[in-house]
Amino acid sequence: MSVNKVILIGNVGRDPEVRHLDTGVAVATFPLATTERGYTLQNGTQVPDRTDWHNIVMWRGLADIVEKYVHKGDRLYIEGKLRPRSYDDQNGQKRYTVEIIADNMEMLSPKVSSQPSVAQQATPQTTVTTNDTPDDLPF
């Protein structure tokens, strides 16, 4: 048995790029930043914040929701799997990257209006309240 599962909570680094394949299937890509808070060791040494960037890929219905409702700076909860891939760059060099293929998403940013959006109504997961702060999260 094997498991390939990733759970991330972070901020969108730029507006998602959404394209539609010839078959009409939507695919969205965007970077997501996760940050580990810095801290001070007992001897007074400062350990700075560490930010990691993740390449997120969403397909079909999730891509359509992302296109309409997700913007740079939004806070998201993402579940998915790691998918390494390689490609040849403009100079013919082989490059490697790891993407997160998302199969579940929750929008954690505060709502702009008091009416729930279509995307929030459509997601069957547990609702995360908008007054949660990063310090309130259990990890």
Say what the pLDDT of residue 112 is.
64
CB-neighbour burial class of residue 56 (10 A; exposed 0-12, middle 13-18, buried 19+): buried
Domain boundaries, the chain: 6-136
CATH superfamily of 6-136: Nucleic acid-binding proteins (2.40.50.140)
HSE at residue 52, side-chain half, CA atoms within 13 A, is 10
Tokens representing residue 13 in the block: 């680094």
Confidence band, pLDDT 50/70/90 cuts, at residue 113: low
Report the predicted TM-score, pTM, of the whole model to 2 decimal places. Answer: 0.73
Detail the DSSP E strand segments found in the chain.
Answer: 6-12, 17-20, 26-36, 39-40, 46-47, 50-59, 75-88, 94-107
CB 96 within 8 A of CB 86: yes
The two tokens of residue 68 are 């309409």
